[in-house]
Structure 1
């Protein structure tokens, strides 16, 4: 029986492949209304089989306790973000993947933005929107260039909230410095 000296390399490739498969599964779990019509800024979609009528799924309704006005809403329980316009209409909503630490519920504001950097978990990320920092933990939204997700069970405490690259770009365009970010349970 021949032995391969590529053991660690294969293990690294396998871990990378699992990360990609996990991210693709995360993307596939997103409900269809979140994506097809967003290029037009319409959060509602025509559901198949409903005669083409517009439908707003209750699962994507902005949480009632999220305040008013133009804001980013991050609901911890559903792991979902809403971009809400000044007219209270949802511009976009999408699922996210949180890291090992959640921010406390409350109202915050975007404090910094960075087009690209290495995240606290060592992954290259883009469209970084920071909205809170507490006890050395930075809380913000970002998209990993390699599509990886944060490890919610990591020993290192990080406050990264990962999103897909298209969702990250939409948030980047929406959330300028001082934009309100409301975190709800």
Structure 2
């Protein structure tokens, strides 16, 4: 009668074989293509019937400066669009970009940059830079800023009052260069 192989030996052998197979698959996967995340602005999704082509996507014109934002050199902040425009003296938008507002929003109206701080730590613990204060509401200071590491802010903790309006990093630098102390900020719905 042939010798019987104990069950623990079978289980050990099968486990070792499975680990070897997983290791080989991991090496093969590591040598293949890798997905790449991009930091692009949100785009509308394609319709179900759309087909892909080799042509580059057509860029749509940026949203127009809100009509009710006045005239002259100014920063325009739309609460509803969650967007900022930097407008020159000839009423031309030199730059526009999306923002992530805090939990406390300024009331619509005209303000001015009252203080600028190069860098600090935000109320959420994130290192921020290019802080331009322009309003206050409910005991909370409201300012534009960007995260030093370029990240978007996490959702505010439940019940936290935050007045930071975060911008993408490059846009924060552009706003900092554009909006010196006293620059008009117009907030629209």
Same fold (TM over 0.5): yes
- Quote the residue 1:14 is aligned against: none
Deviation at 1:173, TM superposition (A): 0.2
Contact 2:104 2:137 in 1 (8 A): no
Residues 1:78 and 2:81 are matched in the alignment: yes
Match 2:174 to one of 158, 161, 170: 170
Q: CA RMSD in A?
A: 2.3
How many residues end up aligned between the 2 structures? 141
Match 1:139 to one of 138, 142, 157: 142
Aligned equivalents of 1:180 and 1:82: distance in 2? 12
- Quote the residue 1:28 is aligned against: 40
Unaligned 5+ segments in structure 1 are: 1-23, 32-47
Match 1:184 to one of 178, 183, 188: 188
What is the SS of the residue equivalent to 2:77? strand
Residues 1:66 and 2:77 are matched in the alignment: no
- Which of the pair is proportionally richer in strand? 1
1:73-116, Cα deviation, whole Å (9 max, x unpaired): 00011110000000011110000111111111110000000110
Deviation at 1:68, TM superposition (A): 0.6
- Equivalences for residues 1-185 of structure 1 within 5 A: 27-30=39-42, 57=61, 60-146=63-149, 147-152=151-156, 154-185=158-189
Moved over 4 A (4+): none
Aligned equivalents of 2:66 and 2:156: distance in 1? 24
Aligned equivalents of 2:78 and 2:176: distance in 1? 18
What is the SS of the residue equivalent to 2:106? coil
Q: 1:175 to 1:183 in 2, by over 3 A?
A: same
Contact 2:111 2:135 in 1 (8 A): yes
Q: Please tell me whether Structure 1 or Structure 2 has the larger radius of gyration of its CA atoms.
A: 2
Deviation at 1:134, TM superposition (A): 2.5
Unaligned 5+ segments in structure 2 are: 1-36, 44-55
Contact 1:98 1:160 in 2 (8 A): yes
Aligned equivalents of 2:102 and 2:154: distance in 1? 5
Aligned equivalents of 2:106 and 2:57: distance in 1? 40
